[in-house]
Structure 1
Amino acid sequence: MILPVILSGGSGTRLWPLSRKNRPKQFLALVGEQTLFQRTVDRTRKLGQAGAPIVVCSEEHRFTVAEQLQELGVTDASILLEPAARNTAPAIALAAMQALKADPDAVLLVLPADHLIGEEGGFIEAVEHAQPLAVEGWLVTFGIRPEAPETGFGYIKRAEAVGEFGFKVAQFVEKPNAELAAKYVASGDFDWNSGMFLFKAARFLDELKAHSPAIYQAIGEVFATAKPDLDFVRFDQETMRNVPEDSIDYAVMEKTSRAAVVPVACRWSDIGSWSALWEASEKDDDGNATQGDVFTFDTRNTLVRSHDRHMVATVGLDDIVIVSTPDATLVAARDKVQHVKQVVDTLNRTGRTEHLSHRQVHRPWGSYDSIDMGDRFQVKRIVVKPNSVLSLQMHHHRAEHWIVVSGTAEVTCGDKVFLLTENQSTYIPLGVTHRLRNVGKVPLELIEVQSGSYLGEDDIVRFDDVYGRA
């Protein structure tokens, strides 16, 4: 049986302003209705024999992962929380150790959460072709047959055949310039390095121990600190910070003599930029890829995305990217979108917050949208999912007014508990313990007006919380 390992720790800065630190690209529905993370998990369920997935993610994304798995009906996943990002080799090692607890012969299918695969049948077939090699002790990577010279991907050079469908890896090549990329594609001996792998968990750990013993030793110490917390597995942060940071390619694959590659013929993209998303998207007769309330006139080969209740109109544009969100808009030449990362770096360096979170912030109980703000007030639109409850909490610096727009709210305010329905409101004084619960079967929507000397999200003292945040 194959155990899928979903690596979900990427930041996706090149897809700003849609992708942000608190909700990076893997958790966004960039193509179709499912998020990239959900598409990856769903892809593994099409394998003939696949066990419960192991997801490796950051602590701040834990509830997003759990919610998106729940939407797929996946209730048996193991969610490992990385207390500090140390690249792919340590993350995969944690997953391998977790897998070995259940099965000493576990075979891991390691997949980044943010890749887009077109013909999934070809990928599933390649996994089936690679499985015998993995069982024999090969560390198999999947090479995407190149459609054209591409300077944004690494390459894998094939050597002699192993088994019926695989080849030994002759060389891993870093991202080449255009001239080299053209030579690689023309030779027929090179594939794109997809970053997807299939191998036995025990074999990978043996190779990690042999070629990167410092990582192996340190990650073993981290795994020894594992503690279950609700549906998650936590590890000690300080111990994790002592783990050397390295990718699986550098730590193992480029050093082992047991690396094999199985070629895959399918449409594939790591959605590493807005231009890559344009290429992967459906387009109109003028080559435009649009989403949301968009009107184009005399516009060609352009990507335009708008958010709800906001129209974007374009006139006389060619090869442009326009992405509009409630608090930030990107306009860029399509051949310059690789520089979006520099915008994010500047936002971070200057102390701005638009790279961290959207105006709408998701929580395990629902979401809130900061729709207006001033020096001493803030207005939020809050949506609470049915049968969900916020923490029992208080604030030192602000009072709150709640106005129910739809649904039924159970309100705890001090020693009082009462119900509010549509068009009813209540006042939560500064310093008073309070709680909000949706006791209905439909989403609860309310408007919250905060007033006070400080309105930051860190002015929350939690006394009780069903999500373990108290």
Structure 2
Amino acid sequence: MIAEQINLTVNDGGAAVSDVCVVPIIPVVLAGGSGTRLWPVSREHFPKQLIGVLGTDSLLQATVRRTQGFDAARVTVAQPLIVCGEEHRFVTSEQLRESGIDARIVVEPWRRDTAPALTLAAAVAITGGADPVIVAMPSDHAILDTPAFQRAVEVAARHAWAGAVATLGVPPTRPETGFGYIKVGASLAPNVHGIDGFVEKPDANLAQRYLASGDYWWNSGMFILRASVWLNAVKRLQPGMYDACMAAVAQGEVDGAFFRPCAAAFDRSPSDSIDYAVMERLQGDDTLPRGVVVPLHAGWSDLGSWDAVWDALEKDADGNVARGRVMFDGARASLAHSEGRLVACLGVSNVVVIETDDAVLVADRSRVQDVKGVVDRIKAQRGLEANTHRKVRRPWGYYDSIDHGDRFQVKRIVVQPGARLSLQLHHHRAEHWVVVRGTARVCRGDETFLLSENESTFIPLGVRHSLENPGKVPLEIIEVQSGGYLGEDDIIRFDDKYGRC
């Protein structure tokens, strides 16, 4: 067993580990967030971890890639565990496939914040008698220096293997009011300190005092500890959460590429964050493992606002950041993001302009933290823009709502090769399909037939139907819906290869 290769001693709650040491770790990526702070690009049904905020990779893909390439002489890395919600499981799986990374996906039945999510992952990690060091991290943060991140994790993992609960703290570079802070304690070993406490997001004056003192680091939200240490701490501090999560995993089942904890058991778990549920309660209790913090100097950002995105990206000579079709003329210190249309910024300073198919955000960079209030107002008005994009991903591909009006809607539907929409019917709408690319296999009532490019068919209201792409290229069709109600909830599924019946 790998544990036999390890030589360690425990000293004052920290661990001094010999240089000849291989620690088994398992990355746990917490990807269950809804993400509205980067609206309108990030929305509840397609949150920021799934979008390419900084480049072509999504933040989820970048996070999982960061878990590859550790020093094999110091740690061995097991297959990552990704914890995500039901509504994001297919796109999460597809993005991992595109990245060429084999990972296990644990599907949370409901959102219960980060502490239950980590407890589910820890319970899965110990199956078969293993007890690896968990490296738990959010899926939507930016880290510019991966080798520096990995070195910090390796230091933390060696202390975690000895029983400590480790976290990565970021020495602050400015008086930030958008982050929680860790009060740093005495030095326990090179690049390892005790933790004297956690503090909430401060106001501007207090943040300035934290920066000046040098005793407070930003809380990165990344935690490194053995699976058994986390489960024992949760059992002691949050017994209801422990019982619910352990039962959910014990009664869970494998569903293709996914592991599904038992929903009924998990429903009994309270909702809480890792910080509140456990970390903030470790200090002052000698029966609990001691918390330690390792400094992280790796260009970290939680990307919690468009201002943070501006800060993380390369700028032109005037301090501007452009993504997509953007022109600057006399603009300074601004961010413009276009997903299609040309965005021209003339003579403006310190602004954020975000263009999407169905919404445009224009904000002063000092007010971007208030985006959540805008999203709340859209929800109060029952606006679809708060939750969904015009382009909606599905396990079989996606659809784009091109146009809509009274009693009609037009969609462009793209079905990937080998994929199939469910056998379904609608009570309130009929559909006309026109194939513009590829070949479609259509089931309509008792009929099954093929349609090629420039051919069409009609699906009457109340008739069972399905659509499949039997070809080697993506199938594209134009769908024209007509009827008295065109909502996405007017679907009765009878058979679905993706388990959505």
Paired AA for residue 462 in structure 1: R
CA distance in 2, matches of 1:103, 1:4: 18
* Contact 2:244–2:267 (CA under 8 A) maintained in structure 1: no
1:239 aligns with 2:265: yes
Aligned residue-pair number = 468
Paired AA for residue 267 in structure 1: G
1:127 aligns with 2:158: no
Superposition TM-score, scaled by structure 2 size: 0.90
Q: 2:31 maps to which residue?
A: 8
Q: 2:131 maps to which residue?
A: 105
In the TM superposition, residue 432 of structure 1 has moved relative to its aligned partner by: 2.0
Paired AA for residue 185 in structure 1: L
Q: 2:328 maps to which residue?
A: 296
Percentage of matched positions with identical amino acids: 52
Q: 1:356 maps to which residue?
A: 387
Q: 1:63 maps to which residue?
A: 90
* Contact 1:7–1:57 (CA under 8 A) maintained in structure 2: yes
What secondary structure is seen at the aligned counterpart in 2 of 1:44? coil
Over 3 Å counting, the alpha-carbon distance change for 1:252 and 1:63 in structure 2 is: same
CA distance in 2, matches of 1:200, 1:37: 23
1:138 aligns with 2:170: no
Q: 2:417 maps to which residue?
A: 386
CA distance in 2, matches of 1:464, 1:134: 47
Paired AA for residue 352 in structure 1: G
CA distance in 1, matches of 2:182, 2:481: 56
1:422 aligns with 2:448: no
* Contact 1:133–1:163 (CA under 8 A) maintained in structure 2: no
**Which deviates further from its counterpart, 174-183 or 381-390?**
174-183
In the TM superposition, residue 103 of structure 1 has moved relative to its aligned partner by: 4.3
What secondary structure is seen at the aligned counterpart in 1 of 2:135? strand
Q: 1:158 maps to which residue?
A: 184
Q: 2:50 maps to which residue?
A: 27
Paired AA for residue 225 in structure 1: Q
CA distance in 2, matches of 1:243, 1:396: 37
Residue from 465, 477, 487 that aligns with 1:446 = 477
Q: 1:337 maps to which residue?
A: 368
* Contact 1:130–1:165 (CA under 8 A) maintained in structure 2: no
Paired AA for residue 269 in structure 1: S
What pairs up with 1:289-328 in 2 under 5 angstroms?
289-308=321-340, 310-328=341-359
What secondary structure is seen at the aligned counterpart in 1 of 2:344? strand
In the TM superposition, residue 108 of structure 1 has moved relative to its aligned partner by: 0.5
Superposition TM-score, scaled by structure 1 size: 0.96
Q: 1:74 maps to which residue?
A: 101
* Contact 2:247–2:262 (CA under 8 A) maintained in structure 1: no
What secondary structure is seen at the aligned counterpart in 1 of 2:384? coil
In the TM superposition, residue 152 of structure 1 has moved relative to its aligned partner by: 1.2
* Contact 2:329–2:345 (CA under 8 A) maintained in structure 1: yes
CA distance in 2, matches of 1:161, 1:103: 34
CA distance in 1, matches of 2:113, 2:183: 24
CA distance in 2, matches of 1:64, 1:281: 25
1:209 aligns with 2:266: no
1:186 aligns with 2:236: no
What secondary structure is seen at the aligned counterpart in 1 of 2:243? helix
1:253-287 deviation line (CA, Å, top 9, x unaligned):
11124100011111111110111111111212221
Q: 2:63 maps to which residue?
A: 40
Residue from 408, 419, 431 that aligns with 1:377 = 408
* Contact 2:241–2:268 (CA under 8 A) maintained in structure 1: no
CA distance in 1, matches of 2:450, 2:317: 54
In the TM superposition, residue 127 of structure 1 has moved relative to its aligned partner by: 0.9
CA distance in 1, matches of 2:425, 2:49: 34
Q: 1:249 maps to which residue?
A: 275
1:284 aligns with 2:310: no
CA distance in 1, matches of 2:244, 2:490: 36
What secondary structure is seen at the aligned counterpart in 2 of 1:147? coil
CA distance in 1, matches of 2:203, 2:228: 37
* Contact 1:409–1:437 (CA under 8 A) maintained in structure 2: yes
CA distance in 2, matches of 1:433, 1:425: 17
Q: 1:435 maps to which residue?
A: 466
What secondary structure is seen at the aligned counterpart in 1 of 2:247? helix
CA distance in 1, matches of 2:495, 2:119: 34
CA distance in 1, matches of 2:264, 2:208: 46
* Contact 1:7–1:110 (CA under 8 A) maintained in structure 2: yes
In the TM superposition, residue 332 of structure 1 has moved relative to its aligned partner by: 0.9
Paired AA for residue 282 in structure 1: E
Q: 1:52 maps to which residue?
A: 79
* Contact 1:3–1:107 (CA under 8 A) maintained in structure 2: yes
Q: 1:85 maps to which residue?
A: 111
What pairs up with 1:168-183 in 2 under 5 angstroms?
168-183=194-209
CA distance in 2, matches of 1:362, 1:20: 13
What secondary structure is seen at the aligned counterpart in 1 of 2:311? helix
* Contact 1:3–1:109 (CA under 8 A) maintained in structure 2: yes
Residue from 424, 429, 434 that aligns with 1:403 = 434
* Contact 2:181–2:217 (CA under 8 A) maintained in structure 1: yes
